[in-house]
Amino acid sequence: MSFQTFTNIYDTIKTIASNHRQINTFGEGDTWEIATSGTTNYPMFWAVPQGSMLQKGQVGYKFQFIVMDLVQTGEGNEIAVLSDTHQTLTDVLSKLKWGGYSGIDIRVETFDTQSFTEKYDDMVSGWSVDVTIWTEYNWNSCTIPTIT
């Protein structure tokens, strides 16, 4: 495994989401930044950075992934939205875990997903999951950019 920066990992997530034919909008940031009213083109994939973990030789970047789509008035399509967004979320997780991305490791074999309904301004439903993406980290003080 090779070292990947936070930027490299974010770009990989963005690329996977942007290349998925059932994701029309990609965004990242805190959940309060999710702009679900106005001109959002659904379904949407949102990545929430949630810190990192450092251990000998590795760093784990934590994210919450959220996939959502519009629910019609009267909730007539809510089950279909939940089904479709769950499949989209599992597609992204599969691509990250088994897609052959150099320097990225997701160690878990089980993902605990949570559904939500009629959330945010546009009344969307979907799924979220917490994921830690691991990469190498060289704990070598010789690589720190300092003035000697």
Per residue in 57-98, pLDDT tens? Answer: 889 999 999 999 998 877 788 999 999 999 999 999 999 888
Give the model's confidence band at 56: pLDDT under 50 very low, under 70 low, under 90 confident, else very high: confident
Of 3.30.2000, 3.30.1560, 1.10.4100, 2.60.40, the CATH number of 6-139 is: 3.30.2000
Task: Show the tokens assigned to 137.
Answer: 């980290």
pTM: 0.87
pLDDT at residue number 104? 79
- C-alpha distances (whole Å) from 142 to each of 2, 53, 136 are 18, 21, 16
Percentage, residues of the chain above pLDDT 90: 53
pLDDT at residue number 64? 96
Task: State the average pLDDT over residues 8-27.
Answer: 94
**Alpha-carbon distance 13 to 33, whole Å?**
18
Task: Show the tokens assigned to 102.
Answer: 């150099």
Cβ atoms 106, 58 nearer than 8 A: no
Task: State the average pLDDT over residues 1-27.
Answer: 90
* Residue 94: alpha-carbon gap to chain centroid: 12
Instruction: Assess whether pLDDT exceeds 80 at residue 122.
Output: no
Residue 43: phi, psi to the nearest 5? Answer: -70, 155
| Coil vs helix vs strand at 80 | helix
Burial of 10: CB neighbours in 10 Å, binned 0-12, 13-18, 19+: middle
HSE on the CB side for 50, CA within 13 Å? 14
**What are the extents of the domains in the chain?**
6-139
Instruction: Assess whether pLDDT exceeds 70 at residue 38.
Output: no
